Chain A
Amino acid sequence: MTQEVLDNRGLAPPEPMQRTLAKLGELVPDTALVILNDREPVPLYAELERRGYAHAAEELPDGAWRVTIRRP
């Protein structure tokens, strides 16, 4: 599976969520989206669940968050 990276750091809410959801609509099949956010994107998770995506999140050493989103 290939990956695309979307860097949302430095953006105010809800712009990271808006960019992420817009990008998901453009993804080709079998591609995971990796997003980098300043904070854990908690409100995004409910919308990902509603759209049928799975996610894996981890906090990076600098306090930023990397979330990998894919179709299960």
Chain B
Amino acid sequence: MTVGAVPIRAEQSAAPRVHLVAGTAGLVLWSVFLAVEGRGLAAGWLGNPVVLTAVHLAALAWATTVAMGAAYQLLPVALGAPAPLTSLGYLSFACFYPGSWLLAGGFWSGLPQLLALGGALITVGVYVFAAAVLTGVAGVRRWTPSAAFLTAAVVYLAGAVTWGLTMALDLNFGFWPLQLSRDLGFHLLLALGGWFTLLIIGVSYTLLPMFFLSDRAAGRTAWSVFALLNVGLIGLAVAIWLGSPAARVAAVAVVWLGLVLWLWDLQAILGRRRRRGRDVPLRHAVAGALAMTLAVTWALGMLAGLLPAGGREVLAAGYLFLVGGVSSTIMGHLYRVAPFLIWVSRYAPRVGRGPVPLVRQLLREGWQEPAFWAFGLGVVGALAGLVSAAAGLLAAGLILQAVGAVLFGGNILAAFAPRRG
């Protein structure tokens, strides 16, 4: 019973853990794929099967899968709302995750039928996920910035997969007057700008104060960030539709302002944390936030004609955003969320009845530093290789990044593995 509030009941379901395990495996496999096939990145980005396969594996089989799992478990904490229907988690996963691999297989093989099938499964999975989340959102007691960010992010995600499916079906049936720059622009805007950016910012406003014990709560600044990002993204959609370069620059500048304001708020939150030190999860979160903002700054410079905007530069900026920004941030949060979920599901029932490990003992702390440095230096090396067209540097960077991902993934997956005792 809850007094003076809507009762909240936390469900214990394996669905979040299934997502986190599968998503972490997705990170490892995607990184190894890129290390093996990375030389193909030199062929440019438009229509390049290596780029299309790698981007969709990273965005779907890794980042979105993990984000969905975390959302099923943490939405009641983030939203102050009843738990989403976690039973739907199995259904959304059963559609979304295989669909992600089929879609990637479609890009790799060039088979449009696989693209359509994968895209359809992904879309069904996302709609089920959105229905589960929005059911929880309907019970929100008080709208916080995190609740607004996460709700908007899910709406953008549904839009991104719908748009992607439309393009995939068009390859099969040719019903849509496809304009590549316009339609790809919408897809990227919805996925990278809407889904990942709002998700990461919304999650940062909940998880960082919670795990790093900061007494600065998300407030007026967070609402300003929310408004700037959404105005900028909607403005960018209009600018793409109108084909107006000037409006595009103005809209991206508004998004950039929102990100800079978020960075300022983030340093204020972390500056008032009671858990001092700069551990690996914190460094991942900070590096990810800086990389996302730097990538958008770069994009702004290219759109405004201040920086070279060739295929290599566009690919490098996208890589910085998705790998250096989104992936690094999710890795940092996973270092906190995964052991927490494992501890709650596996060890909480034993508290008071026998010895239980500390949450920090569930991960191999000694693996975190090498994983962080390998991944981070790998991203820097691959970026430098992309921009300078240095094939050796690019290959070395991607291999180093894969080493970091394998160390990270091995650590997380080992924690999830069943243990005796």
Q: B179: CB under 8 A from chain A?
A: no
Q: Contact size class for B?
A: 20 to 34
Main secondary structure of the interface of B (DSSP, over half): loop
Which chain A residues (48-72) contact chain B, with CB distance < 8 Å?
A: 49-50, 54-59, 63
Q: A42 with B344: in contact, given A54-B1, A57-B3, A58-B4 (CB under 8 Å)?
A: no
B12 touches A46 (CB 8 A): yes
How many Å lie between the Cα of A43 and that of B356 in the bound state?
17
Q: A42 with B8: in contact, given A17-B348, A22-B352, A47-B348 (CB under 8 Å)?
A: yes
Q: A21: CB under 8 A from chain B?
A: yes
Please name all residues of chain A whose beta carbon is closer than 8 Å to the beta carbon of B344 when the two chains form the complex: 14, 17, 43, 47
A21 touches B351 (CB 8 A): yes
Question: How does the 8 Å CB contact mask read for A21-44 relative to B, with 1 for contact and 0 for none?
Answer: 110111000000000001110111
B11 touches A46 (CB 8 A): yes
Q: Which of A45, A47, A63 contacts B8 (CB 8 A)?
A: A45
Task: Identify the interface centre among A14, A26, A49: most chain B CB within 10 Å of its CB.
Answer: A14
How many Å lie between the Cα of A18 and that of B353 in the bound state?
12
Please name all residues of chain A whose beta carbon is closer than 8 Å to the beta carbon of B211 when the two chains form the complex: 12-13
Residue on A nearest B275 in the bound complex, by CB? A12
Please name all residues of chain A whose beta carbon is closer than 8 Å to the beta carbon of B256 when the two chains form the complex: none
Residue on B nearest A48 in the bound complex, by CB? B10
Please name all residues of chain B whose beta carbon is closer than 8 Å to the beta carbon of A56 when the two chains form the complex: 1-3
A24 touches B3 (CB 8 A): no
Please name all residues of chain B whose beta carbon is closer than 8 Å to the beta carbon of A58 when the two chains form the complex: 2-5
Please name all residues of chain B whose beta carbon is closer than 8 Å to the beta carbon of A25 when the two chains form the complex: 351-353
B8 touches A40 (CB 8 A): yes
Interfacial residues, chain B to chain A (CB-CB below 8 A): 1-5, 8-12, 76-77, 80, 83, 210-213, 217, 274-275, 340, 343-344, 348-349, 351-353, 356, 359
Shortest beta-carbon contacts, A-B, top 4 = A25-B352, A21-B351, A42-B76, A57-B2
